[in-house]
Every structure is written in C-alpha cells, then in structure tokens.
C-alpha cells in the first residue's frame, strides 16, 4: 500500500503497474484496509522539504545569524536566509512525522509497526543534492521498533538506500530474492557489513554528466568522466535557488575564493579523493598525495569492479540505452501476476522470454 504525494517513477502511472503497489493514490492508506488485522506496508512521501520549497526566502523563522555556513558557500545575508529556510522546512517535517505517529497510535498500530524515517538525498541545495559529496549522499535514517529495540543508539555501519528493501523483507521473515542487490542490515538475514557504498550521477534534467563515487568509512573517491565540464553544469531548475544565483553573481564579480571558487570552476579534476574524517566538507583533494597511493589504487579497483558487476549503463550513449529499455520507443508493460493456489505450483505470468514458476515443496 502506498500513500501518494510524489510518484516520480519515470514511467506511466495510469494505470500503476499492479506488480509495484496494491494501491497508489491519496486514498491508499492503511486505515482504509478492509481487514484491520491485515499487516500493511505503507509509504508516506512528504514534499515539504523538496528543494523547490527553498526558493522563497522572504519570510524565514529560523534565525539566520545562528546558521553555520559550510565553507563552500559565501557567508552573507542571502546565503544565511536560504539555509534558514531549509531548517524551517525541516521543522515542519518534524510536525508532519508527529501527526503520522499520532495516527498510528490512535489506530492501535504504533506498537505493532516498524517505522523507517529517511530522505532520498542530502540537502536540497547547490553542491549537495545531485552531487556525490557527503552533503549530497549522507541522508537521515531513523528506525523505530515497537519494543524499543536499541532505542537511542547510533549505528555507524555504511548503509546504502538500496539496502532498505532487502532489510524490510529480512525483518518480516520474507526470503530476500537473489536478484536484489541490497544487503539486509537488520533481521534474520542480516548480511556482512559493507566496506563501501557506491553512488552515481548521470544526466541532470537537460544536462549530460557522468560521475561515480566510492565511499568507505575513511575516504571518498570520486571519478569525473567529463573533466572538461564545469562543476556547476547548467541546470535551469537549480537556477531558481537563491544560493546558486548569489554564487553566480559573486563569481562573475570575481569575489569567490577558496572552496567557494573551486566549486564554480570551469573544469574538474578527473579524480578526487577526500579524507572524510579530517575534511568533513570534502574541500581538500588528496588525489595527488603520494602517501595515499595504496588507498587510491584500492578505491579505483573497487570502482572498476562495481562498474562491471552492476553493468553500469553510463557507458552507453542515451539513444542506445533508451532502445534497450523501451524497444521501438514503446514502454514495456508489466504483466499482472496471477496465482494457482490449489496446485503444486505457483504460476507466474508469461513474459517475452519464458514462463516462470515456483515449485512448492
């Protein structure tokens, strides 16, 4: 079951494929299920902290003077107000979560429900969202268990959001399918802790790009496949952000220095390496440090293996990729699954390749 506020799935949602959600609308709420004892899985996607909500900075409630400005931004009134607006939106989010928890409590489900709270990327600001630094990849993740399991503790394992799905299955006792790439980090099927997490940036709206990263507990390695491109490639949607406008203005006037100017540079280094503990904002590129040669070679090899194992499609040009995904320009249709239950098999729908089945022992 899914509570719809944003369904940016990159395919037609009318109708929503039956193999994705049981329901996908504003009425798709656990309170509307016919059998109140039925277990449920629900997603609430709140867009009040979306980057577009940071554009209007005329009236902010958070005190701009109390804001800590990251070193890659200039420090002036516009920058502080834009950051304050982001904190205003986060405060509103806290209230929204409180309402959802209260609803669960009134329904008698709060102590029967495992709750995941997470974001889909870092700050919705320049050099954060869409970028592979910690400011763009480090997301909030809070998990609440009914029995207060490990309440108040902090887990320092490396986790990728691709791990969420397998983890939910592990917690609910459902075998994790072999084709799922994620690693369960809770439940009976908990896997080996990650040594690294991987990330990718490709086309951003109208602008082509290709960046890959490897993040361990100690280092962040970034590979820029288009080093001839400027750091802030032109993205019209991003240009609505007051911070971005202000940085463009100051750059044109020659008033940016240090880390601020580095991010507005007209080309990029082919590779970047950062000591994430000594340099939490990732502004000192250590890629040419001879003392870190072994670290660099290790991260390069991790990146190479990940690219091969995942079949990284960034190496395809876009028309070829589209043809693979939408042969002849037609969107593939997901078949509706059906089940034969009084038989020794569960029969799945026929695809263009073959019919599938699961044999019951």
pLDDT band at 229 (very low <50, low <70, confident <90, very high): very high
Closest alpha carbon to 233 in 203, 261, 189, 188: 203
Average pLDDT score, the chain: 88
Task: Pick 325 or 191 by higher pLDDT.
Answer: 191
Contacts of residue 261, Cβ cutoff 8 Å, sequence gap at least 6: 251
Average pLDDT over residues 61-69: 96
Strand pairing class (219-224; 271-275) = antiparallel
Please check the confidence at residue 129 and state whether its pLDDT lies above 60.
yes
Q: What integer pLDDT is reported at residue 345 of this predicted model?
A: 54
Please check the confidence at residue 341 and state whether its pLDDT lies above 70.
no
pLDDT band at 16 (very low <50, low <70, confident <90, very high): low
Kindly report, residue by residue over 148-176, the tens digit of the pLDDT: 888 999 999 999 999 999 999 999 999 99
Kindly report, residue by residue over 43-58, the tens digit of the pLDDT: 888 889 999 999 999 9
Crossing angle of the two packed helices 242-252 and 77-106, in degrees rounded to 10: 160
Q: 5-14, 114-123, 129-138, 194-203 — which is least confidently predicted?
A: 5-14
Q: What integer pLDDT is reported at residue 176 of this predicted model?
A: 95
Task: Pick 329 or 248 by higher pLDDT.
Answer: 248
The rounded Cα 14 to chain-centroid distance in angstroms is 25
Domains of the chain: 195-229+267-330 (3.30.1120.10)
Rounded CA gap, 95 and 324, in Å?
44
Q: What integer pLDDT is reported at residue 325 of this predicted model?
A: 85
Find out whether 225 and 238 touch, Cβ atoms under 8 Å: no
Find out whether 88 and 62 touch, Cβ atoms under 8 Å: yes
**According to the per-residue pLDDT averaged within each range, which of 4-13, 67-76, 226-235, 310-319 is highest?**
67-76
Kindly report, residue by residue over 303-315, the tens digit of the pLDDT: 999 999 999 999 8
Secondary structure letter of residue 44 according to DSSP: B
Please check the confidence at residue 320 and state whether its pLDDT lies above 70.
yes
Q: What integer pLDDT is reported at residue 340 of this predicted model?
A: 59
Q: 233-242, 261-270, 286-295, 329-338 — which is least confidently predicted?
A: 329-338
Q: What integer pLDDT is reported at residue 23 of this predicted model?
A: 76
Kindly report, residue by residue over 274-289, the tens digit of the pLDDT: 999 999 999 999 999 9
% of the chain residues with pLDDT over 90:
68
SS3 45: coil
The rounded Cα 251 to chain-centroid distance in angstroms is 30
pLDDT band at 351 (very low <50, low <70, confident <90, very high): very low
Q: 9-18, 48-57, 141-150, 268-277 — which is least confidently predicted?
A: 9-18
How is 153-221 classified by DSSP, letter by letter? Answer: --------GGGHHHHHHHHTTPPPPTT------SSTT--PPPS-EEEEE--BTTB---EEEEE-SSEEE
Please check the confidence at residue 361 and state whether its pLDDT lies above 60.
no
């Amino acid at each position: 079951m899914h509570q719809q506020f944003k369904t940016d799935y990159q395919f037609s949602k009318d109708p929503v494929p039956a193999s994705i959600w049981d329901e996908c609308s504003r009425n798709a709420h656990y309170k509307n299920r016919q059998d109140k004892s039925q277990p449920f899985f629900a997603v609430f996607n709140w867009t009040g902290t979306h980057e577009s909500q940071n554009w209007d900075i005329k009236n902010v409630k958070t005190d701009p003077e109390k804001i800590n400005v990251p070193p890659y931004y200039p420090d002036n009134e516009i920058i502080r107000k834009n950051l304050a607006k982001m904190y205003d939106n986060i405060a509103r989010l806290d209230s929204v979560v409180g309402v959802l928890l209260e609803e669960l409590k009134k329904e008698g489900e709060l102590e029967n429900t495992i709750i995941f709270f997470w974001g889909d990327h870092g700050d919705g600001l320049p050099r954060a969202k869409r970028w592979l630094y910690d400011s763009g990849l480090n997301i909030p993740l809070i998990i609440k268990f009914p029995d207060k399991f490990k309440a108040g503790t902090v887990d320092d394992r490396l986790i990728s959001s691709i791990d969420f799905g397998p983890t939910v299955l592990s917690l609910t006792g459902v075998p994790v399918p072999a084709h799922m790439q994620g690693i369960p980090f809770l439940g009976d099927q908990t896997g080996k802790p990650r040594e690294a997490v991987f990330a990718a940036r490709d086309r951003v709206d109208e602008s082509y790009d290709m960046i890959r990263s490897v993040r361990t507990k100690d280092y962040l390695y970034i590979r820029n496949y288009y080093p001839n491109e400027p750091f802030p490639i032109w993205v019209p949607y991003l240009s609505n952000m007051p911070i971005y406008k202000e940085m463009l203005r100051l750059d044109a006037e020659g008033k940016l220095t240090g880390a601020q100017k580095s991010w507005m540079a007209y080309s990029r280094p082919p590779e970047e390496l950062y000591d994430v503990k000594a340099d939490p904002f990732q502004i000192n590129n250590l890629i040419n440090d001879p003392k870190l040669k072994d670290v660099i070679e290790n991260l390069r090899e991790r990146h190479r293996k990940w690219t091969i194992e995942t079949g990284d499609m960034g190496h395809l040009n876009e028309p070829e990729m589209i043809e693979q995904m939408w042969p002849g320009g037609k969107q593939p249709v997901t078949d509706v699954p059906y089940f034969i239950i009084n038989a020794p098999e569960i029969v799945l729908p026929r695809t263009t390749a073959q019919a599938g089945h699961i044999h019951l022992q």
